[in-house]
């Protein structure tokens, strides 16, 4: 199985458990690795035969911008569900970073995988 990736997708959203966080928008950075079989697209050279990462990006950006979750864990799970359910992706790895959430750390966040891994495990 092949992987189509979309990394460093930055979106401003309401995210956090603290009262002050519920009143502002903060940036999250999202990385997606998505299983796909790109052989048909490679042969046809047509976007219609592949996972259109522009459409995935727009959908995820819209969803995240409109969301107001407390936990990055919940946000990651919901993003994974969108990618798998709406785009028919058999496996996705979602990384959600919340830069600056911990003093002294560049990034903090979660990485989840949903669906069947490309290696069959």
Alpha carbon distance 61, 85 (integer Å): 16
Identify whether the C-beta of residue 15 lies closer than 8 Å to the C-beta of residue 75.
yes
Respond yes or no: is residue 40 known to be catalytic: no
Nearest-angstrom CA–CA distance, 97 and 53: 20
From 40, 95, 98, 106, active-site residue: 98
Active site residues: 98
């Amino acid at each position: 199985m092949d992987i189509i990736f979309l990394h460093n997708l930055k979106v401003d959203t309401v995210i956090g458990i603290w009262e002050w966080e519920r009143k502002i928008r903060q940036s999250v950075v999202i990385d997606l690795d998505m299983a796909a079989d790109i052989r048909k697209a490679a042969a046809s050279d047509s976007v219609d035969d592949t996972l259109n990462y522009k459409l995935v990006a727009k959908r995820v950006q819209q969803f995240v911008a409109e969301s107001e979750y407390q936990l990055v864990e919940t946000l990651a799970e919901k993003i994974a569900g969108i990618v798998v359910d709406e785009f028919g992706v058999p496996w996705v790895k979602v990384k959600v970073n919340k830069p600056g959430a911990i003093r002294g750390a560049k990034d903090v966040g979660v990485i989840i995988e949903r669906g069947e891994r490309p290696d069959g495990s």
